[in-house]
């Protein structure tokens, strides 16, 4: 690749804006194309921001031909997809066909089917480079490597209002990414490993009290943790063996949030099936999303807080040992970027730059666990004032980790 590097960012929402902002500060990048389905929105952002290297473009993400066109016309050195997860496969396919490296923040999912094509084209395709998935997977790898023998690995993620502004609505929650996406995550089944046995949890059961436990976060307080997606699949992804008896992925909210959504789910408010109201079919899910969104917006002086905790335990030098990584990040009121934007968008930008500068040289469908060098990545986060704290203790139980064991 030449000295002039161009990045194509697809999707200029909250996280996409953070990607553009970070790329603009990179000496590696000389040109950015900020492409969105709404040209006016992209242009408005670029006019109001201090971004100097970017220009706006428009495309229809649902049209495969337009995906091909925007990539062909802009001829970027890397494609960064910040569109909703449902567009990931088509966008990755178009990037591979054009011979362009690809980065996204969504789960690999169907993109794995493109492995052979990516290898044939000698193209790097790196999904799962956001916060969760993304930073959590890299810290998980580091926690595992810190132990001689791994017995359990729990991952916790959260993006919530910081305590001063969390109490002005009964959900104790505000929006830093698409609210439809938040609600869809509340409808996913979950799987975890407990005492060596696989536990499957139906979507309607994830907020039940028996599936919740409490976690203490230093300087912030106690949070509710509930099962979040399929933790079992990550046993293989991390290359773990039969000695692992516990594996869990959890999301965290302020106390009371889970009770609210347990009731809403039980009463059918997350259902897609329309109900007839005055002769009009209305989806309960769509109604809830549209109705609540205006009540869950941040004010300009309010901050969100992103919390990520990785807790691994097992043996080190023959002793029971806990390894914990904590990341706590707040909204930057100067730039306006939420902590969620920073930890998701900056991560995607770092990944793209690692592909461009040769830090990552492998091709095919890549994984943060196997292909992203941990320490250089952590150093890049530090440059952006995203700090990670490690704690190691030799206690024989998890009593000193600030969290209850899942029931």
Residues 143 and 252 in one domain: yes
Torsion from C-alpha of 76, 79, 80, 83, nearest 10 degrees: 110
- CB count within 10 Å of CB 178 equals 15
Mean pLDDT calculated for residue range 151-159: 97
So what's the pLDDT on residue 178?
A: 81
Mean pLDDT calculated for residue range 172-187: 91
Give 81-130 pLDDT, tens digit per residue: 999 889 999 999 999 999 999 999 998 899 999 999 999 999 999 999 99
Domain with residue 118: its CATH number is 3.40.50.720
46's tokens? 């670029």
Residue 25 lies in a domain: yes
Is residue 379 classed exposed, middle or buried when 0-12, 13-18 and 19+ CB atoms within 10 A define those classes? exposed
Last residue of a domain, one of 127, 161, 181: 127
Give 361-383 pLDDT, tens digit per residue: 999 999 999 999 999 999 999 99
Mean pLDDT calculated for residue range 197-226: 95
User: Which one is predicted more confidently, 71 or 4?
Assistant: 71
CA dist 38 and 131 (Å) reads 26
Mean pLDDT calculated for residue range 153-158: 97
Q: What is the pLDDT confidence band of residue 242, given thresholds at 50, 70 and 90?
A: confident
Residues 96 and 221 in one domain: no
CA dist 331 and 339 (Å) reads 4
Whether pLDDT at 359 is above 80: yes
CA dist 193 and 298 (Å) reads 36
Which ranges constitute the DSSP H helices of 75-148? Answer: 88-97, 115-121, 135-145
13: nearest Cα among 61, 86, 83: 83
Residues 200 and 323 in one domain: yes
Residues 121 and 218 in one domain: no
So what's the pLDDT on residue 393?
A: 87
Mean pLDDT calculated for residue range 32-36: 96
Residues 187 and 108 in one domain: no
Whether pLDDT at 1 is above 90: no
Give every strand in the sheet of 78-81, ordered side by side: 54-58, 29-36, 5-10, 78-81, 102-104, 124-126, 364-365
Residues 227 and 105 in one domain: no
CA dist 223 and 232 (Å) reads 23
Residues 197 and 216 in one domain: yes
Residue 29 lies in a domain: yes
Run of H or E residues at 291: helix 284-292
Containing domain of residue 195, as a range? 135-339+385-401
So what's the pLDDT on residue 399?
A: 38
So what's the pLDDT on residue 264?
A: 96
Whether pLDDT at 241 is above 90: no
Residues 162 and 97 in one domain: no
CA dist 397 and 206 (Å) reads 26
So what's the pLDDT on residue 381?
A: 98
Residue 363 lies in a domain: no
Q: Within 13 Å, how many C-alpha atoms sit on residue 61's CB side? A: 20
Q: Within 13 Å, how many C-alpha atoms sit on residue 208's CB side? A: 12
Q: Which residues pair with 227 in a beta bridge?
A: 250
Domain with residue 395: its CATH number is 3.30.360.10
Count structural domains, the chain.
Answer: 2
Q: What is the pLDDT confidence band of residue 240, given thresholds at 50, 70 and 90?
A: very high
So what's the pLDDT on residue 396?
A: 34
pLDDT, the chain, mean: 93
Run of H or E residues at 314: strand 304-316
Asked if residue 100 lies in contact with residue 70, where contact means CB atoms within 8 angstroms, the answer is no
Residues 294 and 228 in one domain: yes
So what's the pLDDT on residue 405?
A: 54
297's tokens? 């917006």
Whether pLDDT at 398 is above 50: no
CA dist 140 and 134 (Å) reads 10
| Crossing angle between the packed helical segments 374-383 and 347-356, to the nearest 10 degrees | 120
Give 259-277 pLDDT, tens digit per residue: 999 999 999 999 999 999 9
Q: What is the pLDDT confidence band of residue 54, given thresholds at 50, 70 and 90?
A: very high
CA dist 121 and 118 (Å) reads 5
Predicted TM-score (pTM) of the model is: 0.92
Give 283-295 pLDDT, tens digit per residue: 999 999 999 999 9
């Amino acid at each position: 690749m030449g000295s002039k590097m161009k990045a194509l960012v697809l999707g200029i929402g909250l996280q996409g804006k953070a990607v553009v902002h970070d790329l603009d500060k990179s000496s590696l990048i000389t040109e950015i194309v900020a492409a969105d389905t709404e040209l006016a929105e992209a242009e408005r952002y670029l006019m109001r921001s201090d971004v100097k290297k970017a220009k706006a473009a428009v495309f229809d993400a649902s049209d495969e031909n337009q995906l091909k066109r925007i990539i062909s016309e802009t001829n970027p050195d890397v494609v960064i997809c910040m569109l909703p997860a449902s567009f990931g496969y088509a966008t990755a396919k178009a990037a591979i066909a054009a011979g362009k490296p690809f980065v996204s923040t969504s789960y690999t999912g169907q993109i794995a089917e493109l492995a052979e094509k990516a290898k044939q084209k000698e193209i790097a395709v790196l999904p799962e480079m956001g916060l969760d998935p993304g930073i959590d997977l890299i810290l998980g790898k580091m926690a595992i490597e810190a132990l001689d023998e791994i017995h359990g690995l729990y991952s916790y993620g959260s993006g919530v209002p910081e305590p001063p502004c969390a109490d002005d609505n009964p959900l104790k929650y505000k929006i830093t990414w698409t609210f439809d996406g938040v609600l869809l995550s509340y409808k996913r089944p979950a799987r975890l490993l407990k005492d060596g046995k696989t536990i499957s949890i139906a979507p309607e059961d994830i907020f039940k009290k028996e599936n919740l436990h409490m976690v203490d976060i230093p300087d912030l307080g106690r949070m509710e943790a509930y099962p979040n997606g399929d933790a079992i699949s990550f046993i293989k992804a991390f290359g773990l063996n039969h000695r692992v008896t516990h594996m869990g992925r959890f999301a965290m909210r302020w106390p009371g949030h889970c009770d609210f959504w347990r009731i809403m789910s039980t009463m059918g408010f997350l259902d897609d099936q329309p109900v007839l109201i005055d002769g009009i079919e209305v989806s309960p899910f769509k109604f809830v999303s549209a109705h609540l969104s205006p009540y869950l917006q941040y004010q300009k002086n309010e901050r969100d807080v992103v919390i990520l905790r990785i807790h691994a335990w097992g043996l080190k030098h023959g002793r029971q040992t806990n390894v914990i990584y904590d990341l706590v990040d707040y909204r930057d009121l100067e730039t306006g970027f939420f902590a969620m934007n920073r930890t998701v968008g900056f991560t995607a930008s770092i990944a793209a730059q690692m592909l461009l500068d040769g830090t990552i040289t492998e091709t095919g469908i890549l994984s943060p666990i196997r292909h992203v060098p941990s320490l250089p990545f952590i150093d890049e986060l530090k440059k952006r004032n995203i700090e990670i704290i490690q704690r190691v203790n030799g206690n024989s139980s998890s009593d000193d980790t600030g969290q209850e064991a899942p029931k």
